Each structure stands twice: as structure tokens, then as C-alpha cells.
Structure 1
């Protein structure tokens, strides 16, 4: 019996956002600005949490990790966007495509897990305040963070290894701005049923279960808030979790629209726009939302600025 010769593609043409030529540079500088603000904003939070003793608590420890995750995510996605906007598409080797998808899968998995851990921290702080110090000790925090990182790395490996074993015979064009699962599998001429099953199981573990944990936690949080007699007390308690709730709504809302809503009749541009929400907008908004809504972070930033100003003035006096 003769074996079929399958010509495996080695290069992939990534089309990107396909913006009109007249606004190419405007779009490029917009995304460049977003990249700069995202990196600086998340580095600022990392700096504040690292050097401000008042922020050495579980909530800010998890926020520190979320900022690291956001930096990894945008660094994986935005350089490709910038390149495709300028060049109207780029050609990338298949191995680089798989590598980028691996980092993307790991970053997204880490984001989901960290948001869940942060939600658990808020649940304990609001629903079990007397036991907070005992339950949320730093030993447990480190165990949860290490577990999140290890699981996310496993997600990256488990999702990409089976894909790399498939035969890819074309077409060699992906109409997206990054390498996601569906666009990659559309290039394959192999049976991808096993890959889809493995990815579905991983999504249940890393995305669906954490999402339900977050929903259940917030149900208990809201019930506890409504049981507080004073309106001022309710507002004060709700403010401690409003930033996290805002981020969760943006992040999971866009993921649900992209991956769970049927794509039939949905244009590629709509899918790209929704994908921008959780790959670009969320990492940009996280430091802004947490900084604007958090008095401790603003106070810590003010102290560091004052310290820098006094040190600078003292050199000239």
C-alpha cells in the first residue's frame, strides 16, 4: 500500500489586523503606546508591591503575579501586531508559530488561575475576616502561586505537543493577529479530534472550573455585603473587590464571546476585535483599574515620588 506524501508547510503568512493604508501609522503608534503603557503600568505595580512594606499582604502579592502575567501576555502578542500593522502581514516559521501559541496558552491559563486565587483571597477577607490572617498565610499564598505557574506551564506544553505532531498541508495563511487554536487547526489535514478533546478537558480545568469558583465566591461576597447594616460599610467593603470584579467581567466576558458563542455568521474582524479585549485591553486596564480604585497603591506611589523628589532636591542643596 502506497503512503501518501504530505507536503508539510514550514512557513505561515499571518495577515494581522488589515488596517486601511491611510491610517497605518496611526494604528501602529496607538498599539505602540498601548504596549508602552501596559509594560510601564505593570512594572509600576511590581515596583510598588516590592518596595512598599504597607503592600506586603496576600492581595498585593497576587496582584504582583498578575502584573507579571500581563507583561508576558502582551510581550507575546503585541510585537506581532506591531509588525503586521506596518508590513501588512508577516511570514513566520511554523516552529515560531507553535512557540508563540505555547506562550499564549500558558499566559491565558495563568491569568485565569490568578484571577481565581485573587477571588478566593477577597472571599476570605470579606466572608471570613476573623480567620483571614490564619487562612491566608504566606506559606499558602506561595503554594497557590507555584501551583498556578506550574499548571499554566503544563497547559502550554500539553496544548502544543499534540498539535506539533499533526500534518499541516495548507493553506499557509492565518487571518488573525496571533496564533490561536482554531486558526492553526484549520491549516491541518490530519484528524484533530484527539487534540480538540485534550484542549476541551484542559479548558474545563483551567477556565470553566475557575470561572464557576469565581461566580460562587462572588455570590457569597454579595450576600455578605448585603448583610452589612450601614450603607457606608457596604460601599467600603465592596470597594475592596470592585477592581477585581471589573477585570473578571472584561476578561471572561470577551473569552466567552470568542470561544463559547457560535462563530457562524460572525466576521473575522469581530473575532479579532473580541480577541483584542483579553489579549491587549485587559493587560492594559489591569494596572489602571487597580491603581485608580486602590488608595493603598496611590499612597505608596505618592511616597515613592516624594522620596525621589527629596533625594533629587537634596543633591542640589
Structure 2
């Protein structure tokens, strides 16, 4: 497997194969150094590839899968009854070394369960974490985790998240000694629950991590930290709130710019600026949450992702595969995490 290979779950997502296939074709056409394995029903996939060039078609393998995991399906059902599903097959391709990474917009709970079962976690990692990057005031990216993989986290798991997030920030953003922070209800030492306070102690006692202490919710966007650690319950709420606010701002600007002739005129004048702001806050470009801590690269796209958003998730998979993120996490664990256990 000399060429970088990415497996895609074509059947997952709220909008089904049409959106995923559109993103897949965009990736095939714009990433000539990548081979793709498309997992799903061949009778749906193959007709959509007919307009590809011969060279592009040679970089695509269609892996027929009889089953697919439904968006509302229980994770245990997906594990027990969907052994021939497109989601499971793409994970098995990564486990077997036939793909360097995989991407799915399917059922989050099922993906977490199947990935945990098929790929297993790295030594020293109890549970994988969902992590994604978000914009900051200084145009840098901040990595937030966990985004919903584990709603209840021990202090030790929060510490593991910090180690993994530090590696991701270093490899993806090129930051030397990324600043790691714990999300809390205040920056003072007396604030927070017992779980967060003990995690704070673990971070302070760790060697090889640039831990800066607590941050509050508004600090996520101020570039005060490169990695913000929290449990999946809080992280998921923070993520969805941020996405909702971004969409509100975008829609409100559109609405206000059409209210009168004067507003339409001013909108045309300010169009370059508005496009810049839109590109900064558009949630599509931040689609693609990494499932860190596994023995392979798994990227979770939003279920309702557009074709452009899913394409960004594919780019995330490519970048992590090129950086060999799991191996870097394993190395960091050996030098930092295992010393603490």
C-alpha cells in the first residue's frame, strides 16, 4: 500500500449517498496522490463514478457492502447485526492496513462502538475522544475535546485527552509545546468540581506538557490555549452552541443585507469583507472530528454535512494520515502518560 489510501462510508449521513458521493468525487478529482476505497452498495456507487477520467477511476476501489447502519440504530445492534455494513468494513480496512484512514458521516454512537471494537485503543488510553478544531481571534486553531464520545469522564481520562490533544495540535498546526487547558466555570483554583480539580493536579504534575491551567467558555475563541479539554457532555454542548451561533450570524447578515435598497447596496460594497468573515465562521470548514486514541485514524463527519463539509473531513483524514498521528500519540504516551499511571 504505497499510495495513501482513505476508506469512505458512502451509506452514512442524514442525506445518504448522493452527498457523500459528491464529496468523494471532489476528493478523487483534487487529490491525485490519494487512493479511495468506497464502501457501500455497488449499484449505487458505480453509476456515480462514470464521468471520472480513466486515471481517476484507477484510484478508486468500490467495496460492495450489503448492509448499512441506520442513523437511529442502537450501537449494540450495529455491532451485533451489521457485520457486513459499510461503516464496519471501512474500519476493518484500516485495521487490516489496507487503508490509512477512514471517514464516516454515519451514526456517531455506532461509529464509536464499532471503532472501539475493531481498532482498539492505544496502550495507556482508556477511551477514545472526539476532537475538532475551531477558529480563534488570532486566526489560529484551537482543538476542543471531548465532543461527545464520553459524557462521563474520570480525571485520568481528561488527562489522557490533554496528552492526545497536545500531539494533534503539534502535528496538525505545527505548534511547538501546545498550550493545554482545562475548561472550567472559572479560572480560580477554588472553582470546579472534584473531577476537574484532580485532573488539574495530574496535569500540573506531568512532564512534557505545556499545561496553562483553567479557561472559561469564552476563552475557547481568544487564542489563550491551543487545546481545551473537557468531558463529552460539556464539549458537545459547547460545540453545538458555537455552530448554532455561527449559523445565526451568517443568516442574520444575509437577512439584514436584503432589507432595503440601501442595505443591498452596502452589502455589495462590503462583499469581499463579508466573504472573508463567512469563510472564517462557516461551520463547514471545521467539519471532521478525529476519534483520537485508537490504533487507526477515524474521522467523524457531521451527519447533516454538505458535500463541501464532508470534503473537509476527507482532507482532515489525509492530513492525519500523512502525519501518522496515532504513532505520534503512542510515542507521547510512552514518554508522558505511562509515567503518571
Query: Do both share a fold (TM > 0.5)?
Result: no
Rg larger for: 1
Which structure's residues are more often helix, by fraction? 1
By relative contact order (CA 8 Å, sep 6+), the higher-ranking structure is 1
TM-score, normalization by structure 2? 0.27
Q: Decide which structure has greater strand share.
A: 2
TM-score normalised by length of structure 1: 0.29
